[in-house]
Amino acid sequence: MTSRAFIAGCLGTSLTQDERAFFRDARPWGFILFKRNTQDPAQVAALTASMRECVGWQAPILIDQEGGRVQRMGPPHWPPYPPALAFLAINDPVQQREIVRLSARLMAHDLKSVGIDVDCLPVLDVPVAGSHDVIGNRAYARDPVMVAKLGRAAAEGLLAGGVLPVIKHMPGHGRAQADSHHDLPVVEASLDALRAHDFTPFRHLADMPLAMTAHVVFTALDARKPATTSRRIVREVMRGELGFDGLIMTDDISMKALSGSFAEKSKAAIRAGVDVVLHCHGIMDEMVAVAGAVPAMTGQRARRAAMALARIRHEPEPIDVDAARAQLASALALGGS
């Protein structure tokens, strides 16, 4: 049966009977895990297997595993990873890129071993002075070219390990002076400034398979609607100017930046041209509303989804995990010197 254009979460470390029944009937295209869902490797592997059993195919399973303060799988069962900004301490630019790739390759190893095959990384947002610290050290740098370079290294590391990267938050969250989890940020920068700065990393990584939208209003593009629900931003900027032809998903539709009911928000994103709606909280009545508002995965969205998944249907690049972890720790400790 055809999947529907949404990604869903669950409440705990295993599926309830109600969740199983809902997923079988609603057929989400994918699933997402959070810290509340990750107890130990055996449990996560069982959970991902049960999610896929509900929908009857190798559906993508996502997680936010960036490192630093955004790491859903951590000690004692998984190692901690540094935030993106930490890699700037490595002085040699060649080694810096190599270590970013290595860190992402190790993350992919951790994720793939428990059935997770999509990581919401890299963050391609470029912070500016005075912006909210919701991005902060999650960004690789304040220079858009450096963000593009290191973001690609992270994406390559994930892909080598059989995990899809998600570039985020398109077309850029770095200027936001509010946290879109709680408020709607409004960016008043000129279109020229956005093109020269915020858009740059996304333009450089437009060949990536998946992207996540920003719940941010850009007054130079659409004074009324945030990027997630703006037809002009999705179709003319993301698809047109930035040249992105991969699958576009919303950021979490539950975030307070968006107004309206869950059905209204979901329909608005789909009308704008977004392919898939992301709902993270696992709250049943919200998921039911989202499922009822989104279309089936057909046409262009089905093509984009298939093209994305085709990027990881291979054996991961071989890796000596212990040696790689030692190399990562040494490079960060020494600052690359």
Say yes or no to pLDDT of 49 above 70.
yes
In total, how many domains does the chain have?
1
Per annotation, catalytic residue among 251, 252, 275, 279: 251
Within 13 Å, how many C-alpha atoms sit on residue 75's CB side? 5
The reply to whether 173 belongs to the active site is no
> Residue 23's pLDDT band (boundaries 50, 70, 90)?
very high
The reply to whether 133 belongs to the active site is no
**CATH number, domain containing residue 78:** 3.20.20.300
Say yes or no to pLDDT of 289 above 70.
yes
**If DSSP codes are grouped into helix, strand and coil, which group holds residue 31?**
strand
The pLDDT of residue 337 is 43
Residues 214, 309: Cα–Cα separation, whole Å:
23
Percent of the chain at pLDDT > 90 equals 92
Which range marks the domain in which residue 81 is found?
4-32+39-334
The pLDDT of residue 253 is 96
Backbone angles phi, psi at 302, to 5 degrees: -65, -40
Say yes or no to pLDDT of 125 above 60.
yes
**H, E, C per residue of 252-285:** CCCCCCCCCCHHHHHHHHHHHCCCEEECCCCCHH
Per annotation, catalytic residue among 25, 181, 182, 314: 181
**Mean pLDDT within 62-71:** 96
The residue ranking higher by pLDDT, 130 or 30, is: 30
pLDDT tens digits, residue range 298-333?
Answer: 999 999 999 999 999 789 999 999 999 999 999 998
Intra-chain end-to-end CA distance of the chain, in Å = 55
pLDDT tens digits, residue range 84-99?
Answer: 999 999 999 999 999 9
